[in-house]
Chains A and B, each alone.
Chain A
Amino acid sequence: QKEVEQDPGPLSVPEGAIVSLNCTYSNSAFQYFMWYRQYSRKGPELLMYTYSSGNKEDGRFTAQVDKSSKYISLFIRDSQPSDSATYLCATSGQAGTALIFGKGTTLSVSS
């Protein structure tokens, strides 16, 4: 079993839709959770960072962590064509150490 599982998609939605992206992880010691966005042929860009369980909101983006089920989610409201990218979830067990990534989910938002 991989440490972080993420459905690669692709996921296609119309502009304005609410998008839900999800990951599961296996190690209960993980307590730091991040979402990165990666455009084609570019480096990942940090979108959201959360510690332990709970929700965090930033504009159209909401990150959610449920440690009891080892499930992390990213919600995108009012999706835009510019949101079309690959979304990577990442986690780590200790602050400042290696990030463990999922495979990424490719999202396409059509206008």
Chain B
Amino acid sequence: ETGVTQSPTHLIKTRGQQVTLRCSSQSGHNTVSWYQQALGQGPQFIFQYYREEENGRGNFPPRFSGLQFPNYSSELNVNALELDDSALYLCASSLQGANEQYFGPGTRLTVT
């Protein structure tokens, strides 16, 4: 059984740029959720995707967007990067309707 994988591991971007982060869900899981974890904080829910559609969204602006593909993998896109976007971005996969979410190792984004 393959776990959740994310790429890249680390990324450095400049304010105003755009970034795309990628996630492959655990084998058999059809739902992907994205979280932002700032230093010293717990993860904060960004949005969830199921059947290639957004299935819930947290308190994040529209410049945070996502995609889910037929193989259940997912992308998180962030436009017009701000310094406060510097964080660990976590992807979690699950079965639809199940509470157990399994996290990947995260992508650490630094915005300068």
- Residue of A6, A42, A51, A95 near B42 (CB, 8 A) is A6
Which of these binds chain A: B64-72, B78-86, B90-98? B90-98
Asked whether any CB of chain A lies closer than 8 Å to the CB of B74, the reply is no
Which residues in A have some Cβ–Cβ distance to B below 8 Å? 4, 6, 8, 32, 34, 36, 41-46, 49, 51, 88, 90, 92, 95-104
Asked whether any CB of chain A lies closer than 8 Å to the CB of B100, the reply is yes
Q: Given A32-B99, A46-B101, does the pair A98, B56 have CB atoms closer than 8 Å? A: yes
Closest beta carbon of chain A to B64's beta carbon, Å: 14
Closest beta carbon of chain A to B108's beta carbon, Å: 8
Q: Which residues of B contact A96 (CB under 8 A)?
A: 31, 94-99
A-B contact pairs, 7 of them (CB 8 A): A4-B42, A42-B106, A43-B103, A43-B105, A46-B103, A49-B100, A100-B45
User: CA–CA, A28 to B101, complex, Å?
Assistant: 22
